[in-house]
Amino acid sequence: MAGESLVLTRSHRLGVPHRSATCKVKRLIDILGAVVGLFLTAILAIPIVIAIQIDDPGTIFYRQLRCGLRGKPFRILKFRSMVVDADRKQHLVQNQAKGHIFKNTNDPRITRVGRFLRRTSLDELPQFWNVLNGEMSLVGTRPPTLNEVQHYKPHHWQRLRTKPGMTGEWQVNGRSSVIDFEDIVSMDLTYQRKWSLVYDFKLILKTIAVVLKKQGAC
């Protein structure tokens, strides 16, 4: 794909990976967390799958190319929360976000079950598989699409020095209510500056609280 080639070609701008991406202890925590998370996913998968099929029959999972560490493409995995042909209908929906992201708080492509999955973050449970594979981390930066990265300015590339995470600064500071791309970039760079294993643990605890309170979810 032309987009993949462009991203990989420009990845030389990143320099060395952030220390969080090479920390063996962080990777061990990711593996243990992913195993526990996949066990939980297996328990919840049956009612989620049944609900998805009753509401909008079709594929169970949603796969999309995202950029990981140093811009390396990978397929992120989620429970499907939109209609089957959602990607082809995106041009019909108004983008309420600013910059290289797409958001609409009342996106008509989201199914009834999908809204519940998003409010509770249950749609993201399959990403534990991405974490186990080493494509993502439990905590990191927001995983961008290839289309986003193709339009990056020089300072945006620094956010790709870390692995994308299931949660991070953006998750505990607004989630879907953050609609300015530059705010997301700022949060991702803040994470890199503050990073430590203890800080990761704090963000995980904050994420649990945010999800339980359904703050910032659409």
Q: Which residues contact 72 (CB under 8 A, 6 or more apart)?
A: 8, 11
Tens of pLDDT, residues 12-54: 566 789 999 999 999 999 999 999 999 999 999 999 999 999 9
Task: Return the pLDDT at 136.
Answer: 97
**Amino acid 187: pLDDT:** 92
- β-pairing, 137-139 vs 165-167, is parallel
- In terms of average pLDDT, the best of 37-41, 82-86, 103-107 is 37-41
Q: What is the mean pLDDT of the segment spanning 114-136?
A: 95
Instruction: Return d(Cα 124, Cα 78) in angstroms, integer.
Output: 5
- pTM equals 0.89
- Name the pLDDT band for 207 (thresholds 50, 70, 90): very high
Confidence of residue 97 (pLDDT cuts 50, 70, 90): confident
Contacts of 204 (CB under 8 A, 6+ apart): 138, 139, 167
If you average pLDDT over residues 78-107, what whole number do you get? 87
Which residue did the predictor score with more confidence, 69 or 176? 69
For the purposes of burial, counting CB atoms within 10 Å of the CB of 20, is it exposed (0-12), middle (13-18) or buried (19 or more)?
buried
pLDDT attached to residue 5:
52
Helix (H) or strand (E) holding 20: helix 19-22
